[in-house]
């Protein structure tokens, strides 16, 4: 991803970003409630726990998906059909999660990196959510699988035994008008819900504006950005 062009001033400079939705909510359904955001709601990508950013600018990113799915009842691994099929070359609004909240990342293009990583890559040492990746591995068998199975898969990913496929995410820009509509929609929701005492998980105590003027917080990154 080092050769992918950067976008000048793709995010607000020197500004703290506000969340746009609580992670306990259905993001797509929540955005669809506002007619001005229907285009965003029908053209978004959000993979909680399976997104990591390319330093040092944190503009571009990688999304990850399992190479295999696991059937716990049969105790078998099956080759995963391409989890990102249909996304390659497409443009969409990217959302990411932090501290149980959704944030708007900007407008992105999906890049096909299969030729550079035909056998997948190891995530050993990265800070992705092992639990989320394990859940994706069990997605057809999640209800019937045991917590022990999920923990085992998470450990195998963490130690680099199991590999993942990756999707390149190229930042095309950041639309300030869309960002303002998103935050206004969430602010309105909170102002309506708070007096009822039903805000609960929609407004976590940890919800403070994050200093993300240069994008999401920088993370220890072991995924190569040289593609």
For residue 40, the model assigns a pLDDT of 98
Tell me which of 91 and 76 has the higher pLDDT: 91
The three-state secondary structure class of 12 is coil
pTM above 0.75, yes or no: yes
Average model confidence (pLDDT) across the chain = 81
Separation CA 59–CA 79 (nearest Å)? 31
- Tell me how far CA of residue 10 lies from CA of 108, 138, 174, in angstroms: 11, 36, 5
Residue-wise pLDDT for 109-125, tens only, equals 999 999 998 888 887 76
For residue 220, the model assigns a pLDDT of 46
Q: Is pLDDT at 180 greater than 70 in this prediction? A: yes
Residue-wise pLDDT for 167-178, tens only, equals 999 999 999 999
Helices and strands of the chain, counted as H and E runs: 5, 10
Separation CA 58–CA 5 (nearest Å)? 13
**Contact assessment for residue 113 and residue 168, using Cβ atoms and an 8 Å cutoff:** yes
For residue 209, the model assigns a pLDDT of 47
Tell me which of 141 and 64 has the higher pLDDT: 64
Tell me which of 181 and 205 has the higher pLDDT: 181
Q: Is pLDDT at 30 greater than 50 in this prediction? A: yes
For residue 175, the model assigns a pLDDT of 92
For residue 35, the model assigns a pLDDT of 95
Select the highest-mean-pLDDT range: 5-14, 35-44, 143-152, 185-194. Answer: 35-44
Confidence of residue 143 (pLDDT cuts 50, 70, 90): low
Average pLDDT of span 10-32: 84
The three-state secondary structure class of 76 is strand
Q: Is pLDDT at 106 greater than 90 in this prediction? A: yes
Give me 106's structure tokens.
């900007």
Q: Is pLDDT at 223 greater than 80 in this prediction? A: no
For residue 167, the model assigns a pLDDT of 95
HEC assignment per residue over 17-54: ECCCEECCCCHHHHHHCCHHHHHHHCCEECCCCCEEEC
Residue 166's closest CA among 45, 66, 55, 43? 66
Tell me which of 198 and 28 has the higher pLDDT: 28
Least confident of 24-33, 160-169, 190-199: 190-199
Separation CA 118–CA 115 (nearest Å)? 5
Give me 170's structure tokens.
């190229």
Give me 138's structure tokens.
């069990």
Confidence of residue 208 (pLDDT cuts 50, 70, 90): very low
Q: Is the dihedral of CA 125, 218, 90, 132 positive or negative?
A: positive
Beta bridge partners of 102: 21, 97
Q: Running DSSP on this structure, what letter comes out for residue 7?
A: P
Average pLDDT of span 156-165: 88
């Amino acid at each position: 991803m080092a050769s992918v062009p950067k976008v000048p001033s793709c995010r607000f400079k020197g500004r703290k970003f506000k969340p746009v939705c609580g992670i306990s909510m259905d993001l797509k359904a929540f955005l669809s409630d506002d007619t001005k955001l229907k285009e965003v709601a029908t053209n978004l990508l959000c993979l909680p726990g399976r997104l990591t950013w390319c330093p040092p600018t944190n503009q571009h990113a990688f999304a990850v998906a399992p190479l295999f799915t696991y059937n716990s009842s049969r105790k078998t691994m099956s080759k995963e059909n391409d989890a990102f099929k249909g996304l390659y070359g497409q443009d969409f609004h990217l959302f990411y999660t932090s501290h149980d909240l959704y944030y708007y990342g900007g407008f992105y293009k999906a890049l096909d990196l299969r030729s550079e990583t035909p056998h997948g890559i190891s995530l050993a040492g990265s800070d992705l959510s092992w639990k989320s990746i394990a859940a994706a591995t069990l997605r057809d068998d999640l209800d019937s699988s045991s917590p022990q199975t999920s923990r085992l898969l998470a450990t195998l990913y963490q130690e680099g035994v199991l590999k993942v496929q990756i999707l390149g995410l190229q930042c095309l820009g950041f639309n300030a008008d869309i960002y303002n509509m998103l935050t206004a929609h969430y602010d309105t929701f909170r102002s309506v819900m708070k007096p009822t005492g039903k805000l609960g998980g929609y407004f976590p105590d940890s919800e403070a504006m994050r200093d993300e003027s240069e994008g999401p917080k920088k993370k220890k990154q072991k995924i190569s950005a040289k593609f």
